[in-house]
Structure 1
Amino acid sequence: MAHPSSAAASPLADHLRRLLPGIALALAVAIAATLVTPLAALVAPIPSMVIALLIGIALNGPASRPVFEPGLTWCVKKLLRIAIALLGLRIALLDIWDLGPATALLVLVSMAATLVSGVWFAKALGLDVGYGALAGAATAVCGASATLATSSVVPAYPRKGADVTFTVVAANAVSTLVMVLYPPLCKALGFDPQTTGILLGATIHDMAQVVGSGYAVSEAVGNTAVIVKLFRVFLLLPVVVAIGWWFVRREGRAGEAKVPPPVFALVFLALCLVNSLMPALPGLMPAYAPVKAFLSGASNWGLLVAIAALGLGTSIRTILGTGWRHIAVFAGTTLVLLALVVTGLLVLP
């Protein structure tokens, strides 16, 4: 007769065995990126996160085998959030306060306008407004997570399943592209580190690329970008409720929203609070400092592995196989968001 603990451990062991190939592949890409980075620096200062992303995309073909899918998904969905939550140890609450109400207002206005533009572009190009809502939410809030949450309140239409899939892939692909393009744009516009962080956090769709883009520039830029992005993440629930309400008013039917709480964001803020209070407790600093150093290092590696997994799961061919109108809508919402944020940052005092 099997011992109860053995029976309980078996499903866990099976689950870990399913995750191991994908995690090992992403870790191998992350290690390769750290080894290649010093060599790449001889030609151009390319950050290890960008190199991990590019290596991952190059290996998308073999990485598409089913054996890797569970582990890669875990890295992008779970490991990424753990690593982001640990970033809270680098940031004090005063940093959030320093962003000011003008930044919050800029993010709110640009998000609302982006949502409206998604619906308008879809209508103008003869697509279902449901896709416009999906594209608008993915661009305005947080990419794939916002797409899946919004799909729960968008009424059924013939292409809904395909549109949800395309929007998730497009959010990853476009975020990956702008992750590389937006930092040079900020430099060309003469933005300082805080303004650069605001732009990256307010315009890039997915959290992974916000982190990769921001910290590839500098820690200060990355910290600001993550704070602004988390503000957008916290707005996911009201955005989805508003979209559902609009469809109820428009068509009298909408699904029930099932929006997962942003637990990682709450942990991030809790760790920000801990980091903010520690200077006032000098007696605890000797014990806190090594713990903070270890968790910060774990966060760095977690982010690198998650970025590698993101690249391994990104297929350019899938994006190019979709109709031009879908691509045009998503590109339109992306450009609207960028234009509004850049304009706002240029006129803000």
Structure 2
Amino acid sequence: MAVSLTAAKSGLAGLPATLSGIGPGLLVSTVIAVAAKFLSEHYGAPAMLMALLLGIAFHFLAEDGKCVAGIAFTSRTVLRAGVALLGARISVELLIGLGPELIGLVIAGVILTILFGLLGSRLLGRGWRFALLTGGSVAICGASAAMAIAAVLPKNEQSERNLIFTVLGVTVLSTVAMIAYPIITKTLGLDDVAAGVFLGGTIHDVAQVVGAGFSVSEQTGETATVVKLIRVTMLAPVVLVFSLAIRSFAAADPQDGGKRPPLMPSFVVMFLILAGINSFGLVPDVVRTALGDLSAWALLISIAAVGMKTSLKTIFEVGGQAIILIVAETLFIAGFILYGITHFIG
């Protein structure tokens, strides 16, 4: 008992030092996130994009000084917490209400887009890490998926650069899609439900899905949002599959120093637990809304920290093949979902 009390006191005594170590970096990341949110609400720019660009502008803070530890903590731990809290938005009832054909189409789109990314990456001479990162982010939920997948990928010297490029790429493409895709749905004469399925099944980020959907009609907006949440639901199983595959591969990969990733990342476990609790109706609406808002803020703060960890110069070193790959993945999932709607769903 005496030993445990001594250990507890020692841990509590070290808490202020830990907080003071990560505090400055966490605070700076939060301030940048608040500024990004302000710009988003007043000028219509995507908050994720603003946080990323503002973070890159303050890259010098991540190189040396009091903020380094806090920025590293925020870009890793706060990020994973934000992804885990996304689970509170998912429920089995939500998915069942969409019907097996639609669910099958969306799941097939996610899987085939990732496989397409792997094939395209091989043809363009890019590595499998980059393929999983871009393919997963395009297939599932944009920047949030990119950060979740990056958390389980083995690290190398290009990891931070590739993550920044992917977040920047999917955010820009998602913004373009938010403007262009509603025009496409009207040109093709899709009804409100079909248009919602197309927008929710193809646009990368949730905010842009909502913006595009409700710009068409109320029914299109609601359908697009629900369809998008199916893709968000795929985040946990996809990350888990990646983690299991990488765990087997990483043991023989000398670049990773023999360090094996965990069997199931803790943030994926929390995502599944929250989704399960919500599926049984045990999460009140006010709590679910609060957790959703907290998740959004955690992801926004963490992407600001990720931006600070990467210099603008390194982004331009990613190469033209990377741009071709992420655009091709975006066009692939759009074409696949559109074909599915017109030939199997509609």
TM-score (norm 2): 0.68
Are 1:321 and 2:341 matched, yes or no?
no
From 267, 271, 285, the equivalent of 2:273 is: 267
SS in 1 for 2:264: coil
Matches within 5 A, 1:1-349: 4-37=7-40, 39-40=42-43, 45-46=44-45, 48=47, 51-57=50-56, 59-66=57-64, 67-90=66-89, 92-125=91-124, 127=125, 131-141=126-136, 142-146=145-149, 149=152, 151=154, 161-162=156-157, 164=159, 166-190=161-185, 192-193=195-196, 195-200=198-203, 204=204, 210-214=205-209, 220=222, 221=224, 224-239=227-242, 258-261=262-265, 262-274=268-280, 276=281, 288=284, 291=287, 294-295=290-291, 297-313=293-309, 315-347=311-343, 348-349=345-346
- 8 A Cα contact 1:53 1:311, kept in partner: yes
Q: Specify whether residues 246 and 99 from structure 1 end up closer, same or farther in structure 2 by C-alpha distance, changes over 3 A only.
A: farther
| Unaligned stretches of 5+ residues in structure 1 | 153-160, 205-209, 249-254, 279-287
Q: CA deviation at 1:27?
A: 1.6
Q: Specify whether residues 183 and 37 from structure 1 end up closer, same or farther in structure 2 by C-alpha distance, changes over 3 A only.
A: closer
User: 1-side partners of 2:79 and 2:243: how far apart?
Assistant: 23
| Aligned position for 2:188 | none
Percent of counterpart pairs with the same letter? 21
Residue 301 of structure 2 aligns with an amino acid whose one-letter code is V
Residue 63 of structure 2 aligns with an amino acid whose one-letter code is R
- 8 A Cα contact 2:79 2:147, kept in partner: no
- 8 A Cα contact 1:22 1:68, kept in partner: yes
Q: Specify whether residues 328 and 162 from structure 1 end up closer, same or farther in structure 2 by C-alpha distance, changes over 3 A only.
A: farther
Residue 340 of structure 1 aligns with an amino acid whose one-letter code is F
| Unaligned stretches of 5+ residues in structure 2 | 137-144, 186-193, 215-220, 252-257
User: 2-side partners of 1:223 and 1:310: how far apart?
Assistant: 29
Task: Give the RMSD, CA atoms, in angstroms.
Answer: 4.1
SS in 2 for 1:99: coil
| Aligned position for 1:155 | none
Deviation track 1:97-148 (CA, whole Å, cap 9, x = no partner) reads 23333344334433444444444434444x3xxx442233223334354356
| Aligned position for 2:190 | none
Q: CA deviation at 1:269?
A: 0.5
Q: Specify whether residues 312 and 231 from structure 1 end up closer, same or farther in structure 2 by C-alpha distance, changes over 3 A only.
A: same
User: 2-side partners of 1:290 and 1:145: how far apart?
Assistant: 26
Residue 278 of structure 2 aligns with an amino acid whose one-letter code is C
